[in-house]
Amino acid sequence: MADLNLFAGEIAGVIFKLIYFGAIIGTITVVILDNRNPVKTMAWILILMFLPLVGLVFYFFFGRSTRRERIISKKTYNRLMKKPIAEYLAQENSSYPQMYARLIELFKETNQALPFEGNRMEIFTEGYAKLQALIQQLYRAKHHIHMEYYIIEDDAVGRLIRDVLIDKAREGVEVRVVYDDVGCWHVPGSFFEEMKNAGIEVRAFLKVRFPLFTSKVNYRNHRKIVVIDGRIGFVGGMNLAERYLRGFAWGEWRDTHIMIEGKAVHGLQTAFLLDWYFVDSTLITSSRYFPRIESCGDSMAQIVTSDPIGPWKEIMQGLVMAISQAQKYFYIQTPYFLPTEPILAALQTAALSGVDVRLMLPAQADNRITHLGSFSYLKDVMSAGVKVYFYRRGFLHSKLMVADDYLATVGSTNVDFRSFEHNFEVNAFVYDTQAALAMKEVFLNDQRKCSQVFLKNWIKRPLKQRAAESVVRLLAPLL
């Protein structure tokens, strides 16, 4: 009997090993046949080979590709775009800035992002000013408020905005809110229930009902959009949480957000209504949400979105073109720097050709692993002539880029694989000298609070530090 039990145990062990290694080999085969970026493919193969159990778990949650399918039919999409297109075509004597005509056409072709003239921009570089302006505009709402955030905390800031929205809903204003389910995982359900009880329509984006049994956790809505009466819009890097005002014990929170007044708000409205259709299966196309707007300023702007569903990486491709077209300078602020190969090559090429390329990162970040990975790329860019600066006042969360005193972009997109390939993101691309100069001044003012990193010193970092960074870099496509 003992021999029989031993034999049965050996058979069970063999069967387990066959299933286990079959799962590993099968997963590696799926990764290879998926025809992804070779760097990402190799990263997954290495993890699955050397950390098989961990690799299988991580691949199940974070590795599987989304299905490349339309979340909205072409006919339905055309119905939604009918009013914005009419407003775009109604622009008199509209002409693209010659230098960025190809970039604008790229966004029109890949993202249906329409360039609108006559916009006014207001820039916010700290949380109190942005929150004050947002509350002021929310209280002015007459018809509708559309709000979409990755994070809405149940703290003083989140509750303040919630109470304002409840006040407006009770006045008869239509209020719709989209929040990311993973970004708000730890927010109690009662927080959103209080909104719903007041008549606010609240929806979670890609709700993760069983986080241990789904890959939805990997594809998140990182957008920050507010649209008020179809005339005023907010977009940028700030979520609704106290830390965006108070920062950390070790320093301030430096971020960038903009308020847009003008026809470009149609782009933000379109982005929100597409997401609303995604979470609610309700298509909103009434002209009430796309009012006629007179010229409010001198800026031309496009609202560009990107997501893991469509065939193109719209924002990443646009940034590659923008960097490549820079003639004098290209300045970048980003909290995380894990660039894809096209972005890295574009930065190196621009710097080598004599363009003044500057990259600003936080000296200390909120995510140690990602920060280590960011450090591993700095030698690559500095060797090509890119100037690197570490922001010392606190955590730099700003996603701002400006070039040649004419192009600027602000939004939710980080310079990393996650933003370019996995997240739902949104950026405003602004073509205007006045706006670009204002954002350039923001960058230069932050630069005064930085220390520059020099290649001759950077390469002398301890071997232990460089080794840790290199290991994390192997995982960069997966972070």
* Those residues with Cβ within 8 angstroms of residue 17's Cβ, 6 or more apart along the chain or in another chain: none
Please say whether the dihedral angle defined by the alpha carbons of residues 279, 281, 285 and 288, taken in this order, is positive or negative: negative
**Cα–Cα distance for residue pair 190/142, rounded to 1 Å:** 27
CB 282 within 8 A of CB 252: no
Task: Determine whether 224 is an active site residue.
Answer: yes
State the first-to-last Cα distance of the chain, in angstroms, to the nearest integer: 51
Of 229, 275, 307, 432, catalytic: 229
Pairing of strands 415-416, 329-333: unpaired
Cα separations in angstroms, 380 against 376, 384, 385: 8, 7, 9
* Those residues with Cβ within 8 angstroms of residue 45's Cβ, 6 or more apart along the chain or in another chain: 28, 31, 32
Of 40, 130, 216, 224, catalytic: 224
Cα separations in angstroms, 230 against 145, 260, 287: 8, 11, 10
Of 222, 257, 263, 440, catalytic: 222
Cα separations in angstroms, 351 against 62, 315, 330, 434: 34, 21, 9, 25
Shortest CA distance to 256 belongs to which of 439, 391, 100, 13? 439
Of 255, 404, 416, 432, catalytic: 404
Of 399, 416, 422, 440, catalytic: 399
Task: Determine whether 380 is an active site residue.
Answer: no
Task: Determine whether 222 is an active site residue.
Answer: yes
Task: Determine whether 399 is an active site residue.
Answer: yes
DSSP conformation letters of 1-59: -HHHHHHHHHHHHHHHHHHHHHHHHHHHHHHHHTT--HHHHHHHHHHHHHSHHHHHHHI
Task: Determine whether 397 is an active site residue.
Answer: yes
- Which of the residues are catalytic? 222, 224, 229, 397, 399, 404
